[in-house]
Amino acid sequence: MTISAKLPLSRRRFLGTAAAALAAPAFVRKANASSGEINVMMWSDYLPDAFKDAFKAETGITINHTPIGSNEEIINNMRTSRGRGFDLVSPTNMRSPQWEPLELLQPFDMARVPVAALNPALVKIGEEEWNFGGSGSHWLPQLWGTEAIAWRTDQWTPEGGVPSYGDLWSDAMSGKMMGRPHSMMLGAGLYMETIGELEPGAMKAAYASEEAMRPIWQKVADWTIARKGHVKKFWNDADGQKTGLLNEGVVIGQTWDGPILAMKAAGDPVTYQAPKEGALAWVDGLAIPVGAENLDQIYAFLEFSFRPENGGMTANLTGYNSCVIGADQHLTEVSKKNFAEAYPGNALDNLWAWPREPEWYAGVRTEYVDRFQAA
């Protein structure tokens, strides 16, 4: 199963699918009796202080958060430590082919997981794509989001009201744009498909084999290298996106939804919107390393996180979207408005779901990314 077949057509449908048909979670809340700590390696903006404070107030458990900005950071850390030092990590849905041969994760005890609280279509990703060796799911969905176009509303407006990945590379934005190298190149490739520089569907076709990928990514590399001077900065995490737009002269960027929508909710002159070519969509999840030591605390964390009110709190604070059924009932009006403006019209029907990455894919892509960055 791939996420491309399972993404929602609306956030309400996404969060509410089959809610009425699901029975109450078959577990007993024991979080109040817990104590100690839990060591989490998670995306930098996924654990706001308000969430950590509420969790500790209820359970007595301290969350020790090590922030990361890429899947490669998680994988490299786990390889180096042989799966030790952390109780939870947060890989993205399409990375299962890279994780399975490493044997650094352990399956969840699903009897201790309030799985009925989660969108069932996304739970299946773990059951089907992360069921390593038939030993059970090694992944649970937590937050979903997209990567698309953000800009300073006081300095630029997209022509026709809908941005394009091509706007990053326009002469008007030369020296004023930012992105994450590998996904910026993907966005450029999607734009190239629309202007005849690549065949339609080429960027997805590149996942089929290394032989199919190399000529496609060579064209993307050549195209982006020729325009490298347009780049003001490369970002690696949420803070890099925020500082670029607020303090470093960036006018437009290819960014995650969460950081920008959180800034927008705070009143900053920024916005975020799916482009004509489609926002890049993903689901980040939770996984247990083989060396996890605080198992009771892990399941207390899951029980707390997967309540609708806490899923809604996380969405409000981060700008991302909870995978918990009913979390949308706890969204603020500002969060609802920002979501609607980020995905106007048929934007949710036009999401570009990141395909599963074969084990070889990331290494080959890095070759072209390195050439682009070094140019």
Q: Where are the domains of the chain?
A: 3-144+282-333, 145-281+343-374
Q: Is the pLDDT of residue 25 over 90?
A: no
Average pLDDT over residues 263-267: 95
Q: Is the pLDDT of residue 22 over 50?
A: no
Note if the pTM is more than 0.95.
Answer: no
Average pLDDT over residues 15-23: 35
Of 95, 85, 100, 96, residue with least CA distance to 41: 85
pLDDT at position 225 is 98
**CA–CA distance from 316 to each of 7, 55, 80, 136, 309 (Å)?**
21, 16, 35, 32, 10
pLDDT at position 34 is 52
Q: Name the burial class of residue 266, with classes exposed (0-12), middle (13-18) and buried (19+) by CB atoms within 10 angstroms of its CB.
A: exposed
Residue-wise pLDDT for 226-255, tens only, equals 999 999 999 999 999 999 999 999 999 999
pLDDT at position 180 is 96
Residue-wise pLDDT for 54-68, tens only, equals 999 999 999 999 999
pLDDT at position 46 is 95
Q: Do domains 3-144+282-333 and 145-281+343-374 have the same CATH topology?
A: yes
Which superfamily, per CATH, for 145-281+343-374?
Periplasmic binding protein-like II (3.40.190.10)
Residue 7: pLDDT band by 50, 70, 90 thresholds? very low
Angle at 330 between CA 37 and CA 320, to 5 degrees: 65
Average pLDDT over residues 189-217: 98
Residue 15: pLDDT band by 50, 70, 90 thresholds? very low
Helix segments in the chain, DSSP class H: 11-16, 49-59, 71-81, 96-99, 120-129, 181-194, 202-205, 210-225, 238-247, 257-265, 295-305, 308-318, 333-342, 361-374
pLDDT at position 213 is 98
Residue-wise pLDDT for 280-335, tens only, equals 999 999 999 999 999 999 999 999 999 999 999 999 999 999 999 999 999 999 99
Q: Is the pLDDT of residue 17 over 70?
A: no
Residue 35: pLDDT band by 50, 70, 90 thresholds? confident
Average pLDDT over residues 342-367: 94
Tell me how far apart the alpha carbons of residues 225 and 365 are, in angstroms, rounded to a whole number: 15
Which run of H or of E encompasses 234?
strand 231-234
Q: What dotted CATH number matches 3-144+282-333?
A: 3.40.190.10
- What's the chain's length in residues? 375
Residue-wise pLDDT for 148-192, tens only, equals 999 999 999 999 999 999 999 999 999 999 999 999 999 999 999
Q: Is the pLDDT of residue 5 over 70?
A: no
Q: Is the pLDDT of residue 16 over 70?
A: no
